[in-house]
Chain A
Amino acid sequence: MTLPVTEFERETFGSFVAKAFANRSFVTGFAITSLITGMALLSFFWTPYDVTKLIVADRMQPPSATHLFGTDQFGRDVLSMIMVGSRNSIAVALVAVGIGMGLGVPLGCWAAARGGFVDEAVMRFNDLVFAFPALLSAVMITAIFGPGAINAIIAIGIFNIPVFARVARAGALAIWPREFILAARAAGKGKALITVEHILPNIANLLLVQGTIQFALGILAEAGLSYLGLGAQPPMPSWGRMLFEAQTLMMVAPYLALFPGFAIVITVLGLNLLGDGVSDVLDPKLRRQR
Protein backbone atom coordinates (compact mmCIF):
# COMPACT_ATOMS: atom_id res chain seq x y z
CA MET A 1 0.00 0.00 0.00
CA THR A 2 2.72 2.46 0.90
CA LEU A 3 4.98 1.76 -2.05
CA PRO A 4 2.72 2.96 -4.89
CA VAL A 5 1.87 6.09 -2.92
CA THR A 6 5.48 7.16 -2.50
CA GLU A 7 6.23 6.40 -6.10
CA PHE A 8 3.29 8.54 -7.15
CA GLU A 9 4.51 11.37 -4.98
CA ARG A 10 8.05 11.18 -6.29
CA GLU A 11 6.78 11.36 -9.82
CA THR A 12 4.62 14.42 -9.19
CA PHE A 13 7.42 16.13 -7.33
CA GLY A 14 9.75 15.55 -10.27
CA SER A 15 7.27 16.95 -12.74
CA PHE A 16 6.60 19.84 -10.38
CA VAL A 17 10.28 20.80 -10.40
CA ALA A 18 10.45 20.52 -14.19
CA LYS A 19 7.35 22.65 -14.66
CA ALA A 20 8.44 25.12 -12.01
CA PHE A 21 11.73 25.86 -13.68
CA ALA A 22 9.93 26.52 -16.93
CA ASN A 23 7.82 29.18 -15.22
CA ARG A 24 9.25 32.67 -15.43
CA SER A 25 7.68 33.99 -12.21
CA PHE A 26 8.91 30.98 -10.28
CA VAL A 27 12.46 31.19 -11.58
CA THR A 28 12.76 34.93 -10.90
CA GLY A 29 11.15 34.60 -7.48
CA PHE A 30 13.24 31.58 -6.60
CA ALA A 31 16.46 33.34 -7.63
CA ILE A 32 15.66 36.47 -5.61
CA THR A 33 14.54 34.52 -2.56
CA SER A 34 17.64 32.31 -2.66
CA LEU A 35 19.82 35.39 -2.99
CA ILE A 36 18.25 37.06 0.06
CA THR A 37 18.33 33.86 2.11
CA GLY A 38 21.93 33.28 1.07
CA MET A 39 22.78 36.82 2.12
CA ALA A 40 21.14 36.27 5.52
CA LEU A 41 23.05 33.00 6.03
CA LEU A 42 26.31 34.53 4.87
CA SER A 43 25.91 37.35 7.41
CA PHE A 44 26.31 34.80 10.21
CA PHE A 45 29.87 34.10 9.05
CA TRP A 46 30.96 37.16 7.18
CA THR A 47 29.99 40.76 6.60
CA PRO A 48 32.19 43.37 4.90
CA TYR A 49 32.41 45.29 8.20
CA ASP A 50 31.46 44.70 11.81
CA VAL A 51 28.00 46.20 12.38
CA THR A 52 28.49 46.58 16.12
CA LYS A 53 31.59 48.74 15.75
CA LEU A 54 30.97 52.48 15.56
CA ILE A 55 33.72 54.27 13.64
CA VAL A 56 32.81 57.93 13.91
CA ALA A 57 35.63 58.99 11.61
CA ASP A 58 33.95 57.08 8.77
CA ARG A 59 30.47 58.47 9.33
CA MET A 60 28.07 59.44 6.54
CA GLN A 61 30.25 58.39 3.68
CA PRO A 62 28.41 58.20 0.35
CA PRO A 63 28.57 54.90 -1.55
CA SER A 64 32.09 54.12 -2.75
CA ALA A 65 34.34 51.19 -3.50
CA THR A 66 35.25 50.73 0.17
CA HIS A 67 31.64 51.10 1.40
CA LEU A 68 29.41 49.91 -1.43
CA PHE A 69 26.21 51.35 0.08
CA GLY A 70 27.94 54.07 2.15
CA THR A 71 28.01 54.45 5.92
CA ASP A 72 25.46 55.75 8.43
CA GLN A 73 25.71 58.51 11.05
CA PHE A 74 27.74 56.24 13.35
CA GLY A 75 30.13 55.10 10.65
CA ARG A 76 28.55 51.66 10.28
CA ASP A 77 28.67 50.03 6.85
CA VAL A 78 25.15 50.10 5.34
CA LEU A 79 25.65 46.96 3.24
CA SER A 80 26.71 44.98 6.32
CA MET A 81 23.70 46.32 8.23
CA ILE A 82 21.34 45.31 5.42
CA MET A 83 22.86 41.83 5.41
CA VAL A 84 22.45 41.39 9.15
CA GLY A 85 19.01 43.05 9.02
CA SER A 86 17.80 40.45 6.53
CA ARG A 87 18.15 37.79 9.24
CA ASN A 88 15.76 39.70 11.42
CA SER A 89 13.20 40.28 8.63
CA ILE A 90 13.25 36.67 7.50
CA ALA A 91 13.15 35.22 11.01
CA VAL A 92 10.23 37.39 12.15
CA ALA A 93 8.16 36.77 9.01
CA LEU A 94 8.97 33.05 8.89
CA VAL A 95 8.07 32.36 12.53
CA ALA A 96 4.93 34.47 12.16
CA VAL A 97 3.89 32.30 9.20
CA GLY A 98 4.69 29.24 11.33
CA ILE A 99 2.40 30.49 14.10
CA GLY A 100 -0.35 31.24 11.61
CA MET A 101 -0.07 27.82 9.95
CA GLY A 102 0.45 25.90 13.18
CA LEU A 103 -2.70 27.25 14.77
CA GLY A 104 -4.77 28.33 11.77
CA VAL A 105 -4.59 25.15 9.71
CA PRO A 106 -5.78 22.80 12.51
CA LEU A 107 -8.52 25.30 13.31
CA GLY A 108 -9.68 25.48 9.70
CA CYS A 109 -9.51 21.70 9.24
CA TRP A 110 -11.41 21.18 12.47
CA ALA A 111 -14.14 23.58 11.35
CA ALA A 112 -14.43 21.84 7.98
CA ALA A 113 -14.48 18.35 9.52
CA ARG A 114 -17.04 19.06 12.22
CA GLY A 115 -19.26 21.69 10.57
CA GLY A 116 -22.24 23.02 12.52
CA PHE A 117 -21.49 24.86 15.69
CA VAL A 118 -17.72 24.38 15.60
CA ASP A 119 -17.60 25.75 12.07
CA GLU A 120 -19.75 28.73 12.99
CA ALA A 121 -17.62 29.47 16.07
CA VAL A 122 -14.35 29.30 14.12
CA MET A 123 -15.72 31.57 11.40
CA ARG A 124 -16.99 34.11 13.94
CA PHE A 125 -13.57 34.06 15.61
CA ASN A 126 -12.10 34.83 12.20
CA ASP A 127 -14.51 37.73 11.75
CA LEU A 128 -13.49 39.05 15.13
CA VAL A 129 -9.77 39.05 14.36
CA PHE A 130 -10.39 40.51 10.91
CA ALA A 131 -12.36 43.38 12.45
CA PHE A 132 -9.17 44.63 14.07
CA PRO A 133 -6.99 46.37 11.51
CA ALA A 134 -3.88 44.17 11.71
CA LEU A 135 -1.33 46.94 11.98
CA LEU A 136 -3.31 48.68 14.70
CA SER A 137 -3.36 45.58 16.86
CA ALA A 138 0.26 44.83 16.14
CA VAL A 139 1.14 48.30 17.39
CA MET A 140 -1.01 47.70 20.46
CA ILE A 141 0.50 44.31 21.23
CA THR A 142 4.09 45.43 20.83
CA ALA A 143 3.42 48.60 22.80
CA ILE A 144 1.80 46.68 25.65
CA PHE A 145 4.29 43.85 25.93
CA GLY A 146 7.23 46.02 25.05
CA PRO A 147 8.99 46.47 21.73
CA GLY A 148 11.22 43.71 20.38
CA ALA A 149 11.50 41.03 17.74
CA ILE A 150 9.66 38.36 19.77
CA ASN A 151 6.61 40.52 20.34
CA ALA A 152 6.63 41.61 16.72
CA ILE A 153 6.53 37.91 15.75
CA ILE A 154 3.57 37.28 18.06
CA ALA A 155 1.72 40.36 16.84
CA ILE A 156 2.14 39.44 13.18
CA GLY A 157 1.59 35.73 13.85
CA ILE A 158 -1.81 36.28 15.48
CA PHE A 159 -3.11 37.88 12.30
CA ASN A 160 -1.90 34.98 10.23
CA ILE A 161 -4.08 32.56 12.20
CA PRO A 162 -7.48 33.48 10.70
CA VAL A 163 -5.94 33.77 7.24
CA PHE A 164 -4.70 30.18 7.31
CA ALA A 165 -7.85 28.99 9.09
CA ARG A 166 -9.93 30.43 6.27
CA VAL A 167 -7.80 28.98 3.49
CA ALA A 168 -7.58 25.55 5.16
CA ARG A 169 -11.32 25.47 5.82
CA ALA A 170 -12.24 26.45 2.27
CA GLY A 171 -9.80 23.93 0.84
CA ALA A 172 -10.91 21.16 3.17
CA LEU A 173 -14.61 21.81 2.48
CA ALA A 174 -13.94 21.27 -1.22
CA ILE A 175 -12.19 17.94 -0.53
CA TRP A 176 -14.63 16.42 1.97
CA PRO A 177 -17.43 15.57 -0.53
CA ARG A 178 -14.96 13.79 -2.85
CA GLU A 179 -15.28 10.07 -3.43
CA PHE A 180 -11.90 9.01 -2.06
CA ILE A 181 -12.87 10.57 1.26
CA LEU A 182 -16.07 8.55 1.22
CA ALA A 183 -13.97 5.47 0.57
CA ALA A 184 -11.72 6.31 3.51
CA ARG A 185 -14.75 6.74 5.73
CA ALA A 186 -16.19 3.45 4.53
CA ALA A 187 -12.86 1.87 5.46
CA GLY A 188 -13.57 3.02 9.00
CA LYS A 189 -11.12 5.90 9.28
CA GLY A 190 -11.98 8.66 11.73
CA LYS A 191 -12.27 12.32 10.82
CA ALA A 192 -8.95 13.23 12.40
CA LEU A 193 -7.10 10.48 10.53
CA ILE A 194 -8.78 11.39 7.24
CA THR A 195 -7.79 15.01 7.78
CA VAL A 196 -4.16 14.10 8.34
CA GLU A 197 -3.87 11.44 5.64
CA HIS A 198 -6.09 12.79 2.89
CA ILE A 199 -7.21 16.38 3.45
CA LEU A 200 -3.86 17.92 4.38
CA PRO A 201 -1.88 16.56 1.41
CA ASN A 202 -4.61 17.83 -0.89
CA ILE A 203 -4.68 21.36 0.49
CA ALA A 204 -0.90 21.59 0.90
CA ASN A 205 -0.50 23.54 -2.34
CA LEU A 206 -3.09 26.13 -1.25
CA LEU A 207 -1.29 26.51 2.06
CA LEU A 208 2.09 26.81 0.37
CA VAL A 209 0.87 29.64 -1.85
CA GLN A 210 -0.80 31.42 1.06
CA GLY A 211 2.38 30.87 3.05
CA THR A 212 4.48 32.83 0.56
CA ILE A 213 1.90 35.65 0.50
CA GLN A 214 1.87 35.88 4.29
CA PHE A 215 5.66 35.65 4.37
CA ALA A 216 5.85 38.70 2.10
CA LEU A 217 3.22 40.55 4.12
CA GLY A 218 5.12 39.63 7.29
CA ILE A 219 8.29 41.25 5.92
CA LEU A 220 6.33 44.42 5.19
CA ALA A 221 4.63 44.37 8.61
CA GLU A 222 7.93 43.83 10.41
CA ALA A 223 9.47 46.73 8.51
CA GLY A 224 6.51 48.92 9.52
CA LEU A 225 6.75 47.95 13.18
CA SER A 226 10.48 48.49 13.36
CA TYR A 227 10.07 51.82 11.56
CA LEU A 228 7.81 52.83 14.47
CA GLY A 229 10.50 51.61 16.88
CA LEU A 230 8.48 48.55 17.94
CA GLY A 231 10.50 45.84 16.21
CA ALA A 232 14.00 44.56 16.85
CA GLN A 233 15.90 46.90 19.15
CA PRO A 234 19.32 48.41 18.51
CA PRO A 235 22.11 47.38 18.19
CA MET A 236 20.42 44.65 16.11
CA PRO A 237 20.02 46.29 12.70
CA SER A 238 16.61 46.08 11.07
CA TRP A 239 15.49 47.43 7.72
CA GLY A 240 12.56 49.39 9.14
CA ARG A 241 14.65 51.05 11.81
CA MET A 242 17.34 51.97 9.28
CA LEU A 243 14.67 53.79 7.29
CA PHE A 244 13.46 55.58 10.42
CA GLU A 245 16.97 56.79 11.19
CA ALA A 246 17.52 57.75 7.56
CA GLN A 247 14.47 60.01 7.54
CA THR A 248 16.05 62.74 9.67
CA LEU A 249 19.23 62.62 7.60
CA MET A 250 17.49 62.75 4.26
CA MET A 251 18.75 66.24 3.41
CA VAL A 252 22.40 65.27 3.81
CA ALA A 253 22.45 61.56 3.01
CA PRO A 254 19.49 60.47 0.88
CA TYR A 255 21.25 57.19 0.00
CA LEU A 256 20.69 56.01 3.57
CA ALA A 257 16.96 55.82 2.88
CA LEU A 258 17.45 54.19 -0.49
CA PHE A 259 19.18 50.85 0.15
CA PRO A 260 17.13 49.43 3.06
CA GLY A 261 14.00 50.27 1.06
CA PHE A 262 15.32 48.44 -1.97
CA ALA A 263 16.11 45.47 0.24
CA ILE A 264 12.49 45.32 1.43
CA VAL A 265 11.01 45.78 -2.04
CA ILE A 266 13.25 43.15 -3.63
CA THR A 267 12.59 40.59 -0.89
CA VAL A 268 8.82 41.08 -0.99
CA LEU A 269 8.82 41.09 -4.78
CA GLY A 270 10.82 37.86 -4.85
CA LEU A 271 8.43 36.12 -2.46
CA ASN A 272 5.37 37.32 -4.36
CA LEU A 273 6.81 36.12 -7.66
CA LEU A 274 7.68 32.80 -6.07
CA GLY A 275 4.11 32.48 -4.77
CA ASP A 276 2.68 33.38 -8.19
CA GLY A 277 4.95 30.83 -9.81
CA VAL A 278 4.09 28.04 -7.38
CA SER A 279 0.37 28.66 -7.75
CA ASP A 280 0.63 28.77 -11.56
CA VAL A 281 2.50 25.48 -11.63
CA LEU A 282 0.40 23.64 -9.06
CA ASP A 283 -2.95 24.79 -10.37
CA PRO A 284 -3.22 27.10 -13.37
CA LYS A 285 -6.84 27.81 -12.46
CA LEU A 286 -5.85 29.08 -9.05
CA ARG A 287 -5.30 32.77 -9.65
CA ARG A 288 -3.83 34.72 -6.81
CA GLN A 289 -5.81 37.63 -5.43
CA ARG A 290 -2.91 39.83 -4.53
Chain B
Amino acid sequence: MTSYLLKRLLIGALTLVVASIVVFSVLEILPGDPARLMLGLNASEATVQVLREQMGLNQPILLRYLDWAGGLLTLDFGKSYTYSVPVAELVAERVVVSLPLALMALFLSTVIAIPVGVFSAQRRGSAADTLSMGAAQIGVAIPNFWFALILIYIFAVWLRLVPAGGFPGWNAGLWPASKALILPAVALALPQAAILARVTRSALLEVLGEDYIRTARAKGMPRSHVLWRHALRNAMIPVLTILGLQFAFLLAGTIIIENVFYLPGLGRLIFQAITQRDLIVVESVVMLLVATVIVVNLLVDLSYAIVDPRLRIRQ
Protein backbone atom coordinates (compact mmCIF):
# COMPACT_ATOMS: atom_id res chain seq x y z
CA MET B 1 0.00 0.00 0.00
CA THR B 2 2.78 2.43 0.93
CA SER B 3 4.67 1.83 -2.29
CA TYR B 4 1.46 2.21 -4.24
CA LEU B 5 0.78 5.53 -2.54
CA LEU B 6 4.32 6.68 -3.16
CA LYS B 7 3.93 5.84 -6.83
CA ARG B 8 0.66 7.75 -7.01
CA LEU B 9 2.24 10.70 -5.21
CA LEU B 10 5.14 10.70 -7.65
CA ILE B 11 2.84 10.53 -10.66
CA GLY B 12 0.77 13.35 -9.21
CA ALA B 13 3.85 15.53 -8.74
CA LEU B 14 5.08 14.71 -12.25
CA THR B 15 1.67 15.54 -13.74
CA LEU B 16 1.77 18.85 -11.92
CA VAL B 17 5.21 19.71 -13.33
CA VAL B 18 4.19 18.82 -16.90
CA ALA B 19 0.93 20.71 -16.46
CA SER B 20 2.84 23.80 -15.35
CA ILE B 21 5.04 23.59 -18.46
CA VAL B 22 1.96 23.20 -20.68
CA VAL B 23 0.12 26.11 -19.07
CA PHE B 24 3.17 28.33 -19.18
CA SER B 25 3.98 27.64 -22.82
CA VAL B 26 0.38 27.83 -24.01
CA LEU B 27 0.02 31.27 -22.51
CA GLU B 28 3.37 32.33 -23.95
CA ILE B 29 1.99 32.05 -27.48
CA LEU B 30 -0.97 34.21 -26.56
CA PRO B 31 -1.07 37.22 -28.85
CA GLY B 32 -0.76 40.64 -27.23
CA ASP B 33 1.94 42.15 -25.08
CA PRO B 34 0.80 42.39 -21.44
CA ALA B 35 2.93 45.49 -20.88
CA ARG B 36 1.35 47.31 -23.81
CA LEU B 37 -2.07 46.16 -22.74
CA MET B 38 -1.56 47.64 -19.27
CA LEU B 39 -0.33 50.97 -20.56
CA GLY B 40 -2.85 51.41 -23.35
CA LEU B 41 -2.39 52.13 -27.03
CA ASN B 42 -1.02 55.66 -26.60
CA ALA B 43 2.01 54.70 -24.50
CA SER B 44 5.39 55.27 -26.10
CA GLU B 45 7.61 52.35 -27.02
CA ALA B 46 10.16 53.46 -24.37
CA THR B 47 7.60 53.33 -21.53
CA VAL B 48 6.46 49.90 -22.67
CA GLN B 49 10.08 48.73 -22.65
CA VAL B 50 10.60 50.04 -19.11
CA LEU B 51 7.52 48.23 -17.89
CA ARG B 52 8.55 45.04 -19.72
CA GLU B 53 11.86 45.26 -17.88
CA GLN B 54 10.09 45.79 -14.55
CA MET B 55 7.74 42.90 -15.14
CA GLY B 56 10.67 40.70 -16.10
CA LEU B 57 9.22 40.05 -19.56
CA ASN B 58 12.61 40.58 -21.23
CA GLN B 59 14.27 37.70 -19.42
CA PRO B 60 14.87 34.39 -21.19
CA ILE B 61 11.79 32.19 -21.22
CA LEU B 62 13.38 29.38 -19.20
CA LEU B 63 14.36 31.77 -16.43
CA ARG B 64 10.87 33.21 -16.35
CA TYR B 65 9.37 29.74 -16.13
CA LEU B 66 11.64 28.75 -13.26
CA ASP B 67 10.92 32.01 -11.51
CA TRP B 68 7.18 31.50 -11.85
CA ALA B 69 7.20 27.80 -10.95
CA GLY B 70 9.44 28.48 -7.95
CA GLY B 71 7.00 31.16 -6.85
CA LEU B 72 4.10 28.70 -7.10
CA LEU B 73 5.83 26.37 -4.66
CA THR B 74 6.13 29.10 -2.06
CA LEU B 75 2.58 30.33 -2.82
CA ASP B 76 4.06 33.53 -4.22
CA PHE B 77 2.07 33.82 -7.44
CA GLY B 78 3.37 37.23 -8.49
CA LYS B 79 1.38 40.39 -9.09
CA SER B 80 -1.70 40.77 -11.26
CA TYR B 81 -1.14 42.99 -14.32
CA THR B 82 -4.58 44.53 -14.26
CA TYR B 83 -5.39 44.71 -10.56
CA SER B 84 -1.82 45.50 -9.43
CA VAL B 85 -2.25 43.40 -6.31
CA PRO B 86 -0.60 40.08 -5.46
CA VAL B 87 -2.37 37.20 -7.20
CA ALA B 88 -2.42 35.31 -3.91
CA GLU B 89 -4.55 38.09 -2.44
CA LEU B 90 -6.99 37.99 -5.38
CA VAL B 91 -7.23 34.22 -5.14
CA ALA B 92 -7.80 34.35 -1.38
CA GLU B 93 -10.63 36.84 -1.91
CA ARG B 94 -12.29 34.67 -4.54
CA VAL B 95 -11.73 31.25 -3.01
CA VAL B 96 -14.04 32.11 -0.13
CA VAL B 97 -16.86 32.28 -2.69
CA SER B 98 -15.99 29.40 -5.00
CA LEU B 99 -14.94 26.81 -2.45
CA PRO B 100 -18.07 27.06 -0.28
CA LEU B 101 -20.12 27.02 -3.50
CA ALA B 102 -18.43 23.87 -4.82
CA LEU B 103 -18.65 22.16 -1.42
CA MET B 104 -22.32 23.07 -1.03
CA ALA B 105 -23.01 21.67 -4.49
CA LEU B 106 -21.06 18.51 -3.73
CA PHE B 107 -22.92 18.08 -0.46
CA LEU B 108 -26.30 18.65 -2.09
CA SER B 109 -25.54 16.29 -4.94
CA THR B 110 -24.42 13.55 -2.53
CA VAL B 111 -27.35 13.80 -0.12
CA ILE B 112 -29.79 13.71 -3.02
CA ALA B 113 -28.11 11.14 -5.22
CA ILE B 114 -27.07 8.40 -2.81
CA PRO B 115 -30.50 7.87 -1.18
CA VAL B 116 -32.16 8.00 -4.61
CA GLY B 117 -29.66 5.53 -6.05
CA VAL B 118 -30.03 3.17 -3.09
CA PHE B 119 -33.81 3.44 -3.17
CA SER B 120 -33.92 2.68 -6.90
CA ALA B 121 -31.55 -0.25 -6.64
CA GLN B 122 -33.57 -1.70 -3.78
CA ARG B 123 -36.81 -1.48 -5.73
CA ARG B 124 -35.39 -2.35 -9.10
CA GLY B 125 -38.04 -2.36 -11.81
CA SER B 126 -40.68 -0.72 -9.64
CA ALA B 127 -42.57 2.38 -10.74
CA ALA B 128 -40.52 4.45 -8.27
CA ASP B 129 -37.30 3.14 -9.82
CA THR B 130 -38.46 3.87 -13.35
CA LEU B 131 -39.60 7.32 -12.30
CA SER B 132 -36.42 8.31 -10.48
CA MET B 133 -34.14 6.92 -13.18
CA GLY B 134 -36.22 8.73 -15.80
CA ALA B 135 -35.77 11.92 -13.80
CA ALA B 136 -32.03 11.21 -13.57
CA GLN B 137 -31.91 10.66 -17.34
CA ILE B 138 -33.44 14.10 -17.83
CA GLY B 139 -31.24 15.63 -15.12
CA VAL B 140 -28.11 14.49 -16.96
CA ALA B 141 -29.36 16.23 -20.10
CA ILE B 142 -30.02 19.61 -18.47
CA PRO B 143 -27.24 22.18 -18.93
CA ASN B 144 -26.57 23.65 -15.49
CA PHE B 145 -26.66 27.25 -16.69
CA TRP B 146 -30.11 26.77 -18.18
CA PHE B 147 -31.30 25.16 -14.98
CA ALA B 148 -29.82 28.20 -13.22
CA LEU B 149 -31.91 30.53 -15.38
CA ILE B 150 -35.06 28.61 -14.54
CA LEU B 151 -34.22 28.71 -10.83
CA ILE B 152 -33.61 32.45 -11.04
CA TYR B 153 -36.96 32.92 -12.73
CA ILE B 154 -38.89 30.86 -10.19
CA PHE B 155 -37.16 31.72 -6.92
CA ALA B 156 -35.77 35.20 -7.54
CA VAL B 157 -38.04 36.86 -10.08
CA TRP B 158 -41.33 35.21 -9.29
CA LEU B 159 -41.24 34.19 -5.62
CA ARG B 160 -38.58 36.73 -4.58
CA LEU B 161 -37.15 34.37 -1.98
CA VAL B 162 -33.48 34.76 -2.86
CA PRO B 163 -31.40 37.30 -4.79
CA ALA B 164 -31.11 36.77 -8.55
CA GLY B 165 -27.37 37.29 -8.46
CA GLY B 166 -24.45 39.04 -6.82
CA PHE B 167 -22.76 38.27 -3.54
CA PRO B 168 -22.93 40.49 -0.44
CA GLY B 169 -19.70 39.10 1.03
CA TRP B 170 -19.28 37.04 4.17
CA ASN B 171 -19.06 40.26 6.20
CA ALA B 172 -22.75 40.84 5.52
CA GLY B 173 -23.48 37.89 7.76
CA LEU B 174 -23.63 34.14 7.35
CA TRP B 175 -27.25 33.96 6.22
CA PRO B 176 -27.31 36.71 3.54
CA ALA B 177 -24.08 35.35 2.11
CA SER B 178 -25.18 31.72 2.07
CA LYS B 179 -28.55 32.76 0.70
CA ALA B 180 -26.78 34.15 -2.36
CA LEU B 181 -25.07 30.79 -2.88
CA ILE B 182 -28.15 28.57 -2.59
CA LEU B 183 -29.41 28.85 -6.18
CA PRO B 184 -25.95 28.54 -7.74
CA ALA B 185 -25.24 25.48 -5.61
CA VAL B 186 -28.53 23.84 -6.56
CA ALA B 187 -27.91 24.61 -10.24
CA LEU B 188 -24.45 23.05 -10.06
CA ALA B 189 -25.64 20.08 -8.03
CA LEU B 190 -28.60 18.85 -10.06
CA PRO B 191 -26.86 17.43 -13.15
CA GLN B 192 -24.15 15.97 -10.91
CA ALA B 193 -26.74 14.40 -8.64
CA ALA B 194 -28.39 12.78 -11.65
CA ILE B 195 -25.11 11.18 -12.73
CA LEU B 196 -24.25 10.11 -9.20
CA ALA B 197 -27.68 8.55 -8.62
CA ARG B 198 -27.30 6.43 -11.75
CA VAL B 199 -23.81 5.30 -10.78
CA THR B 200 -24.90 4.49 -7.21
CA ARG B 201 -27.82 2.46 -8.48
CA SER B 202 -25.82 0.42 -10.98
CA ALA B 203 -22.92 -0.15 -8.55
CA LEU B 204 -25.32 -1.28 -5.86
CA LEU B 205 -27.24 -3.56 -8.22
CA GLU B 206 -24.00 -5.29 -9.12
CA VAL B 207 -23.11 -5.84 -5.46
CA LEU B 208 -26.61 -6.97 -4.49
CA GLY B 209 -26.22 -9.90 -6.88
CA GLU B 210 -23.12 -11.18 -5.04
CA ASP B 211 -23.08 -14.42 -3.06
CA TYR B 212 -22.08 -12.83 0.23
CA ILE B 213 -25.20 -10.68 0.17
CA ARG B 214 -27.34 -13.78 -0.13
CA THR B 215 -25.32 -15.40 2.65
CA ALA B 216 -25.81 -12.40 4.90
CA ARG B 217 -29.54 -12.48 4.26
CA ALA B 218 -29.66 -16.25 4.70
CA LYS B 219 -28.07 -16.10 8.13
CA GLY B 220 -30.91 -13.85 9.20
CA MET B 221 -29.42 -10.40 9.01
CA PRO B 222 -32.01 -7.65 8.62
CA ARG B 223 -32.42 -6.38 5.09
CA SER B 224 -31.50 -2.79 5.98
CA HIS B 225 -28.34 -3.89 7.78
CA VAL B 226 -27.23 -5.92 4.77
CA LEU B 227 -27.97 -3.00 2.49
CA TRP B 228 -26.21 -0.25 4.38
CA ARG B 229 -23.35 -2.19 5.99
CA HIS B 230 -22.50 -4.84 3.42
CA ALA B 231 -23.80 -3.78 0.04
CA LEU B 232 -23.36 -0.02 0.05
CA ARG B 233 -19.84 -0.18 1.39
CA ASN B 234 -18.83 -2.50 -1.41
CA ALA B 235 -20.56 -0.30 -3.96
CA MET B 236 -18.68 2.77 -2.79
CA ILE B 237 -15.62 2.48 -5.05
CA PRO B 238 -17.25 3.56 -8.33
CA VAL B 239 -19.28 6.12 -6.39
CA LEU B 240 -16.13 7.62 -4.89
CA THR B 241 -14.43 7.67 -8.29
CA ILE B 242 -17.30 9.65 -9.75
CA LEU B 243 -17.38 11.96 -6.72
CA GLY B 244 -13.69 12.74 -7.26
CA LEU B 245 -14.26 13.46 -10.95
CA GLN B 246 -17.27 15.58 -10.09
CA PHE B 247 -15.32 17.81 -7.76
CA ALA B 248 -13.11 18.81 -10.69
CA PHE B 249 -16.21 19.27 -12.77
CA LEU B 250 -17.83 21.44 -10.10
CA LEU B 251 -14.76 23.66 -9.84
CA ALA B 252 -14.78 24.21 -13.59
CA GLY B 253 -18.55 24.51 -13.59
CA THR B 254 -18.20 27.57 -11.41
CA ILE B 255 -16.86 29.43 -14.47
CA ILE B 256 -20.29 29.34 -16.09
CA ILE B 257 -22.43 29.40 -12.97
CA GLU B 258 -20.54 32.34 -11.43
CA ASN B 259 -21.11 34.19 -14.67
CA VAL B 260 -24.82 33.43 -14.57
CA PHE B 261 -25.16 34.71 -10.99
CA TYR B 262 -22.47 37.43 -11.12
CA LEU B 263 -20.62 35.85 -8.22
CA PRO B 264 -17.12 37.21 -7.55
CA GLY B 265 -15.48 33.78 -7.40
CA LEU B 266 -12.48 32.05 -8.94
CA GLY B 267 -14.41 31.11 -12.08
CA ARG B 268 -15.30 34.70 -12.82
CA LEU B 269 -11.80 35.84 -11.91
CA ILE B 270 -10.24 33.47 -14.42
CA PHE B 271 -12.79 34.29 -17.11
CA GLN B 272 -12.12 38.02 -16.72
CA ALA B 273 -8.37 37.48 -16.48
CA ILE B 274 -8.39 35.56 -19.77
CA THR B 275 -10.28 38.30 -21.59
CA GLN B 276 -8.03 40.96 -20.07
CA ARG B 277 -4.87 39.01 -20.95
CA ASP B 278 -3.84 39.00 -17.31
CA LEU B 279 -1.49 36.06 -17.89
CA ILE B 280 -0.11 35.74 -14.41
CA VAL B 281 -3.59 35.42 -12.89
CA VAL B 282 -4.68 32.88 -15.52
CA GLU B 283 -1.54 30.79 -15.04
CA SER B 284 -1.79 30.79 -11.28
CA VAL B 285 -5.49 30.04 -11.03
CA VAL B 286 -5.29 27.27 -13.64
CA MET B 287 -2.39 25.69 -11.78
CA LEU B 288 -4.27 26.00 -8.52
CA LEU B 289 -7.28 24.22 -10.00
CA VAL B 290 -5.13 21.53 -11.63
CA ALA B 291 -3.34 20.97 -8.32
CA THR B 292 -6.70 20.70 -6.56
CA VAL B 293 -7.90 18.11 -9.06
CA ILE B 294 -4.72 16.06 -8.60
CA VAL B 295 -4.92 16.24 -4.80
CA VAL B 296 -8.61 15.31 -4.79
CA ASN B 297 -7.89 12.32 -7.02
CA LEU B 298 -5.12 11.24 -4.64
CA LEU B 299 -7.54 11.54 -1.73
CA VAL B 300 -10.05 9.44 -3.65
CA ASP B 301 -7.37 6.79 -4.16
CA LEU B 302 -6.61 6.91 -0.44
CA SER B 303 -10.26 6.61 0.44
CA TYR B 304 -10.52 3.38 -1.57
CA ALA B 305 -8.26 1.81 1.03
CA ILE B 306 -10.43 3.11 3.86
CA VAL B 307 -13.63 1.85 2.28
CA ASP B 308 -12.19 -1.46 1.13
CA PRO B 309 -9.67 -3.02 3.55
CA ARG B 310 -8.78 -5.67 0.96
CA LEU B 311 -6.99 -3.02 -1.07
CA ARG B 312 -4.72 -2.22 1.89
CA ILE B 313 -3.16 -5.65 1.73
CA ARG B 314 -3.25 -6.25 -1.98
CA GLN B 315 -1.22 -3.28 -3.07
Contacts and interface: CB of A to CB of B under 8 A. Distances in A.
Nearest to B251: A133
Contacts of A133: 248-249, 251-252, 289-290, 293
A272 B153 contact: no
Contact of A290 (B195, B253, B293): B195
B19 A272 contact: no
B27 interface: yes
Contact of B149 (A136, A139, A250): A250
B19 A128 contact: yes
A273 B252 contact: no
Interface residues of A, number: 40
B157 A251 contact: yes
Interface in A230-279: 240, 243, 246-247, 250-251, 254, 257, 260-261, 264-266, 268-269, 272-273
A266 B142 CA distance: 9
Interface residues of B: mostly helix, strand, loop or mixed? helix
B286 A134 contact: no
A220 interface: yes
B289 A139 contact: no
Given A136-B270, A228-B271, A127 B153 contact: no
A124 B15 contact: yes
Given A261-B150, A289-B199, A228 B294 contact: no
A224 interface: yes
Given A144-B26, A224-B143, A227-B145, A124 B11 contact: yes
Interface in A109-136: 124, 127-128, 130-136
Contacts, number: 125
A143 interface: yes
B255 interface: yes
Contact of B15 (A128, A134, A250, A265): A128
B252 A134 contact: yes
Nearest to A276: B137
Given A131-B290, A228-B271, A289-B199, A136 B252 contact: yes
A264 B255 CA distance: 20
B212 interface: no
A181 to B, nearest CB: 28
B152 A273 contact: no
Contacts of A257: 146, 149-150, 153
Interface string A205-231: 000000000001000100110011000
Contacts of A130: 293
Central interface residue in B149, B152, B251, B293, by most chain A CB within 10 Å: B149
Interface of A: 124, 127-128, 130-136, 139-140, 143-144, 216, 220, 223-224, 227-228, 240, 243, 246-247, 250-251, 254, 257, 260-261, 264-266, 268-269, 272-273, 287, 289-290
6 contacts: A133-B290, A144-B30, A220-B143, A227-B259, A261-B142, A290-B199
Given A144-B27, A247-B149, A265-B138, 13 more contacts: A124-B11, A127-B11, A135-B255, A136-B252, A228-B255, A228-B256, A260-B146, A261-B146, A264-B141, A265-B143, A269-B141, A273-B137, A289-B242
Which 10 pairs across A and B sit closest by C-beta, in order of nearness? Answer: A133-B252, A268-B141, A261-B146, A143-B274, A135-B252, A269-B141, A136-B252, A265-B141, A133-B248, A257-B149
